[in-house]
Structure 1
Amino acid sequence: MKRTSPKVEKYFLKSAKDEFLALLLFCRHQWYVVVAIVLAVGLALYYVSPFPPSTIRVASGQPNSTLEKIAARYGEYFDAHGVRVEFFTTRGAAENLQALRDGKVDVAFSQGGLALSRDESIVSLGSIGYQPLWFFYRGERFKGEDFVAFLEGRRISIALPGSGTRPVVDALFGVLPEVAVNRMRKYEMPAGESIDALLAGEIDGMFLLAGIESGNAQRLLRRSDVRLLDFPVAEALTRHLQYTEVVTLPKGALEVTPPRPEADVHMIATTTTILARESLHPALQYLFMRASTELYQSEEVFFERAGGFPAFTERHIPRSEVAQRYNTHGPPMLEDYAPYWVASFFDTAWVGILALIAVLYPLLRMVPSYRKTMFNIGASFKYDQIFTLARESETVGSLRELDALERTHRQLTQEVEETWVPKGCNQSYYFLVGSLELARERLDLARSRLVPGTPVPERGRSTQALGAKTGSM
């Protein structure tokens, strides 16, 4: 005879069903515990707020600028992660910062050196690259050592107030002799107009703070008739402008032959910095750090930095806790295995998650034993009712009373048949069914006593056995 082995999947399905019903039973009878747990979890989720907004506002600077191009790359990265970026156009880094202060944007691409106090609820997400201060000019190449004397008397565009170029130029002029600065013929013009004026011969030179990828910078770097001013004392200037560093454009970097530039060009440079409101969702702060790291690693970097980017290069700007943790400890452990907001949530709230598990685990452990406990409690009440029914059947004195007892027995039988029997309680259930059978036999004996000649149904049990089992109820 062929034997059929039990199906493993059926066993697990039954176990899963038991666990689900046990949980429902627990929720029904211990609702106050469930409500307390739900409130605790709800408050924890409200406080931690794991779900970031799907839209973010970013100040990107003026068209064709370094900041606009960088912001566009971040916009593509965020879009790939389901976050829509709304760009806010300004005249440059200074206006970007002001838009952030005014609450018009959530994040601003700015630059080092801009005045920012610690009580403005603005934090740094790190610097992501250099922006050199270029001076483009036309005419004979400057070969001397005194660049200040070279600039005296020349028509120079110093950019517009609110642009990123202007604060650095003003700071540079602040360390130069006032008499020499006053001899320069300065014009306040936007970058695009300055380029047009330079190429048309209306001005002699222009300052431009920009990364090499800037459209404005590239427009001039491609022109063989436009030169770059070398700052021979660039290292000394960084001592006065402490938020700047020296970068060098090597000889022949633009064209190898004939070499352009004709010699190494030394410049001071500030950094492109991502600033955010302190209230920006931690997951979005983390996504900025992740984008900064991946974009830096995947793109060609012209002006390298020891240690690379992103990095905290300024001491006077408060640092984001999320960014600080990312730079110090690296990316979250779930970065490669979960959506960015899940990785960020676990990284920031893992202590709270472990504490919640420590509270919930004992309660969840109660559910399997709780189902047995509740079944046994219910069975105990049924045993009491059946025992009372059997005892009353021995002393019943009329058919009317006996009919009432039989109705009670039928009701108990129906309730027992509809009872959910959790795993591990089969034996108790069979005892309960057996007790009902014994009570049925007692009722049959009572009817034969009240109505002489009524046959007693054969139920496979002797009166002696009945008495023994009845005594055990």
Structure 2
Amino acid sequence: MGRVRKFTQFSLRDLVATAGPTVGLIAAACLLAYLLVDPSPPRSARLATGQENSAYEEFGKQYAAKLKKEGITLTLVRSLGSAHNLQLLREGKVDIAFVQSGSTDQAESERAGLVSLGSLFTEPVWLFMREGAAPAQLSELKGKGVNVGPEGTGVPKLFRAVLAANGVEPDELRLGALENTPATMALVGGAIDGLVFSSAPEEPLIQMLLRTPGIRLVDFPQAEAYTRRLPFLSHVVLPRGIVDLASDNPSRDHRLIAPTATMVAREDLHPALVDLLVQAASQIHGGTGWFQQQGQFPSARYTEIAVAREAAKFYKDGPPLLQRYMSFWLANFFDRMWVLVVALGALLIPLSRVVPPLYVWRIRSRLYRWYGQLRVVEQELAEAPAQRRAEICGALLARLDEIEGLVNQISIPLPFADALYSLRSHIQFVRQRVLAAMAPAPESAPAPGPE
């Protein structure tokens, strides 16, 4: 039974030898497509945050912790603020950054190759003044010393727009350019009359100033009008008692104007990283806050920069299906498998028509070479001189016996057995020709004599 099985099964060795180069070619093409057409997400990225102790920096740490769980290192790059972050993005020194609305427009961002991953939270304009210096109208700030921060932040541009809406020229004030921490110390120490922040309430310096005696938060009673004049602003309310209910701080509602913080990325950021960042944003900013309701942020709204396709899909449909049930890297691997399917489809169909004929040719080639040996025997027989014919025919018969013995050892699949038996019959045919050539020629009958 073992011998029968040996002759009936297909030849795995021949199949491997025939299909091996084809399989290798397909594997190489698939690997090339996998690496080049849809490369794997990078293991690291750079996020531009903001100044020391700023809300941008605090949120940046949360993003770094979220991505670290997925095996991605998010390097935080400290900056002066929104305007500086935009510069870092344009120069390619960072991949992602926090940017304040109103810092750029859609046309400018498209020229720079930037996309939005969504708005994250509101950044109210916090105008803190020393007690007794707080104005009823912003026009009363003329002559005051107010710190707006360095030009790398978004605040100087924003506050100039607010002053212009009130008919106040920047040179009518003493505008300072200190960073947040030294400016706060200067305000508390009485060196300046006021300072302007534009940040989330989570910023530690804002929390401190809201609780500092002698420091007053300026109300914007015309907040709704500002939003009509400056469309990138929204009207928010700091509720009474939100800072400390026990001490009723603040003692009344405060109307504020607020741009929004947006996460902006270079358009060549890997789509899988976009998905991961937006999911992290949903976890970090999706809850309730002083100025937002549950689920209000992150959002594709409130941004003047075009939203990346992957981010817009997330806001519409939620996270990708595979990432709901698998780890980030495993889900990304299966999501990228479509590249392999395309490569396989492009190669497998035409190559599948080549392999079967090659396999058949390889099996039959074992027999074809023996036909060449038979042809040689026939040629030597035809060229044998008459005086040596018997000697040569004896050698040819021995050679045919050797060929037949080797042919009998050939193992080929049963579907090709007819070719094997045909070869053996042809060996016998040539043997008969050699034997016929060895037989002596019959003697001629003598001619009849005369009677």
Percent of aligned positions that are identical: 28
Q: Pick closer, same or farther for the CA change 1:22–1:260 going to 2, 3 Å.
A: farther
Shifted more, 80-89 versus 428-437: the winner is 428-437
The CA deviation at 1:192 is: 0.7
Q: Give the counterpart of 2:264 among 275, 294, 307.
A: 275
Aligned equivalent of 1:195: 184
Which residue of 82, 91, 95 corresponds with 2:80? 91
Does structure 1 retain, via aligned residues, the 8 Å contact 2:58–2:203?
yes
Aligned partners of 2:139 and 2:167 also within 8 Å: no
Residue 7 (structure 1) aligns with: none
- Hey, what's the Cα distance between the residues in 1 that align with 2:247 and 2:64? 39
Aligned equivalents of 2:87, 2:366: Cα separation in 1: 76
After TM superposition, the structure 1 = structure 2 runs for residues 207-218 of structure 1, keeping only pairs within 5 Å, are 207-218=196-207
Pairs aligned (count): 416
* Contact 2:86-2:99 within 8 A present in 1 as well: yes
Cα distance, 1:185–1:386 mapped onto 2, change above 3 Å: closer
* Contact kept in structure 2, 1:127 and 1:273, CA below 8 Å: yes
SS at match of 2:196: strand
CA distance in 2, matches of 1:73, 1:139: 35
Residues 1:408 and 2:403 aligned together: yes
Contact 1:389 1:409 in 2 (8 A): no
Say if 2:228 is the partner of 1:233.
no
Larger Rg computed on CA atoms: 2
Structure 1's 22 and 269: CA in aligned 2 closer, same or farther, altered over 3 A? farther
Give the whole-Å Cα distance in 2 for the aligned partners of 1:301 and 1:403.
101
The residue identity in structure 1 corresponding to 2:414 is: Q
State the AA in 1 paired with 2:123. Q
Equivalent position of 1:130 in the other structure = 122
SS of 2:119's partner is strand
1:239-288: CA deviation from partner (whole Å, max 9, x where unpaired): 11211111211001011133110101111111111111222222222222
Q: CA RMSD in A?
A: 4.0
CA offsets 1:54-84 (integer angstroms, 9 cap, x no match):
2222212111111111111111122222222
Correspondences of 1:9-408 after superposition (within 5 Å): 22=15, 24-28=17-21, 35=25, 37=26, 41=30, 44-45=33-34, 47-116=36-105, 117=108, 118-139=110-131, 146-148=136-138, 151-178=141-168, 184-297=173-286, 301-304=289-292, 308-314=296-302, 316-340=304-328, 343=331, 350=338, 355-360=342-347, 362=349, 370=355, 374-382=358-366, 398-408=393-403
Consecutive unaligned residues in structure 1, runs of 5 or more: 1-13, 420-425, 452-473
Aligned partners of 1:103 and 1:161: how far apart in 2?
20
**TM-score, normalised via structure 1 length:** 0.73
SS of equivalent to 1:400: helix
Q: Report the CA distance shift for 1:305/1:171 in structure 2 as closer, same or farther (over 3 A).
A: farther
CA distance in structure 1 between the aligned counterparts of 2:39 and 2:101, rounded to whole angstroms: 31
Higher relative contact order (CA 8 A, sep 6+): 2
Separation of aligned partners in 1, 2:316 and 2:111:
24
CA distance in 1, matches of 2:17, 2:364: 21
Residues 345, 93 of structure 1: alpha-carbon distance in 2 compared, 3 angstrom cutoff = farther
The amino acid that maps onto 2:112 is E
Residue 427 (structure 1) aligns with: 414
Sort the Cα spacing of 1:374 and 1:360 in 2 relative to 1 into closer, same or farther, 3 A: closer
What do residues 350-405 of structure 1 show as CA deviations (whole Å, max 9, x unaligned)? Answer: 5x6654454345358669xx45x555444444456678889989x99733213322
Distance 1:338 1:48, change over 3 A: farther
Q: CA deviation at 1:237?
A: 0.7
- 1:131, distance to aligned residue in structure 2 (A): 1.1
Q: What are the equivalent positions in structure 2 for 1:444-455 lying under 5 Å apart?
A: none
Distance 1:175 1:25, change over 3 A: same
Q: SS where residue 335 of structure 1 aligns?
A: helix
* One-letter code aligned to 1:128: L
Alpha-carbon contact 1:50-1:345 (below 8 Å) kept = no
SS of residue matched to 1:61: coil
CA distance, structure 2, for counterparts of residue 261 and residue 22 of structure 1? 83
Do 1:137 and 1:206's aligned partners in 2 also have CA atoms closer than 8 Å?
Answer: yes
- For 2:157, the aligned partner's letter is P
2:276 partner SS: helix
Structure 2 contact 44–72 (Cα < 8 Å) conserved: yes
Q: For residues 192-215 of structure 1, give each alpha carbon's deviation from its aligned partner in whole angstroms, at most 9, with x where no partner exists.
A: 111111211222321111111112
Alignment-mate amino acid for residue 268 of structure 2: S
Shift of 1:153: 4.6
Counterpart for residue 11 of structure 1: none
User: How many angstroms apart in 2 are the aligned matches of 1:336 and 1:356?
Assistant: 27
Distance 1:385 1:208 in 2: 90
Contact 1:227 1:261 in 2 (8 A): no
Equivalent residue for 2:449? none
Distance 2:402 2:374 in 1: 13
Maintained 8 Å contact 2:51/2:78: yes
Q: 1:331 to 1:347 in 2, by over 3 A?
A: farther
Q: CA deviation at 1:320?
A: 2.0
Unpaired runs of 5+ residues, structure 2, are: 1-8, 382-389, 439-451
- The answer as to whether partners of 1:228 and 1:261 remain within 8 angstroms in 2 is no
Are the aligned partners of 2:119 and 2:303 in contact in 1 as well (CA < 8 Å)?
no
Contact 2:15 2:359 in 1 (8 A): no
Q: Secondary structure of the residue that 1:227 maps to in structure 2?
A: strand
1:98: how far off? 0.9
Distance 2:14 2:30 in 1: 22
Task: Label 1:60 to 1:407 Cα distance change in 2 as closer, same or farther (>3 A).
Answer: farther
